[in-house]
Amino acid sequence: MSDLRRANRRLWNEWSDDFQAIWRSGTDEGELPPAPSPFADDAPGGPQPGILDSVEGQAYVELGCGGGQGSVGTAELGADPVVGVDFAGDQLQYARELREEYGVDAQFVQGDVTDLPLPDDRFDVASSEAAFQMVPDLDTALGEAHRVLREGGVFVLSVPHPLNEALEAESGTVGGDYLDPGPREITIDEEYDEVLRTFDRSIADLHGALLDAGFAVRRLIEHQRHAVEANEPEETDLPEVLWRVPQSVRFWAVAR
Ligand SMILES: C[S@@+](CC[C@H](N)C(=O)[O-])C[C@H]1O[C@@H](n2cnc3c(N)ncnc32)[C@H](O)[C@@H]1O
């Protein structure tokens, strides 16, 4: 494991308690915390029935699963088996707790997305939400996603939109450089020993890397925030400029 990946893993173990507290912040006592699946009707961009009818009975892996929300939500939709992989042990503890709360079947495995501890051609469906932007060697990670999928398997890759990442939210100007792939350092908390390092790859670079890894890209979605879609700006105190750019980019790809 490279120094950069080791540092990012330390950061995620440090950040895990606070990060998962954000996930649970809107949950009332006695309610289940959210576990949104990327294949649910209300997922960003919606389902893509022309690419994948249903996850029911499909073998599914979530890459960079964090607190397991995507894995648990997709198990709820009937995927089976379900495996979540993450390199941060503290995040996986939260994933296992969420699995118990929902009472679904899912296996959570510690591993790096660039070296998956999983066999070839094992899964019908894979997804990754907000994780691959932290991976220095994107080509290796995409190669691993392709390796564990059977031919014709579906991969949904979502990362923060690079334009969103290039904005200085407070001043409303472009602070970063859309064409600079990074790494960019982000201080999450002055108290933490580590900073977060991310790679803001352009849409063209992400698209090209998927093709080079052996995927056919069937759909590209530039997704706004849900509150923007619902036209409820008063629901958030985010700087206004963030309403005018997509929050994430999402590729629906098929393993060739
Ligand atoms: C922003 S969180 C997203 C987690 C989850 N998908 C979600 O939507 O909440 C990013 C996750 O990616 C994991 N991660 C980052 N780089 C990784 C790598 N190389 N291998 C495995 N997991 C990684 C981190 O540990 C963290 O849990």
Residue spans per domain, the chain: 3-49+56-255
Q: Please report which helix (H) or strand (E) contains residue 228, including its range.
A: helix 226-229
Distance CA 94, CA 20 (A): 7
- Name the pairing type of β-strands 123-129 and 60-63: parallel
Q: Is 92 in the pocket of ligand 1 (CB under 6 A)?
A: no
Asked whether 88 lines ligand 1 (CB < 6 A), one says: yes
Output the pLDDT for position 62.
Answer: 99
Q: Does the C-beta of 86 come closer than 6 Å to ligand 1? A: yes
Nearest Cα to Cα of residue 73 among 49, 117, 42, 28: 42
> What is the chain's pLDDT, residue by residue, as a tens digit (256 residues)?
688 999 999 999 999 999 999 999 989 999 999 999 999 999 999 999 999 999 999 999 999 999 999 999 999 999 999 999 999 999 999 999 999 999 999 999 999 999 999 999 999 999 999 999 999 999 999 999 999 999 999 999 999 999 889 888 778 788 888 888 889 999 999 999 999 999 999 999 999 999 999 999 999 999 987 655 555 556 666 777 778 889 999 999 999 9
> If you measure from the C-alpha of residue 137 to the centroid of ligand 1, how many angstroms do you get, rounded to a whole number?
14
How far apart CA 236 and CA 240 sit, in angstroms, is 10
Contact 16 CB / ligand 1 (< 6 Å)? no
Ligand 1 center to residue 65 CA distance, Å? 6
Of residues 121, 86, 62, the one with CA closest to residue 5: 86
CA distance 75 to 71: 6
Backbone CA torsion sign across 67, 203, 166, 245: negative
Q: Which of 2, 113, 158 to mutate to test the pocket of ligand 1 (most atoms within 8 A of CB)?
A: 113
Which sign, positive or negative, has the C-alpha torsion 118, 208, 182, 156?
A: negative
**Which class would CATH give 3-49+56-255?**
alpha beta
Q: Give Cα 159 distance to the centre of its chain.
A: 6
Q: How far is the CA of 234 from the centre of ligand 1 (A)?
A: 30
Give distance in angstroms: CA of 130 to centre of ligand 1: 7
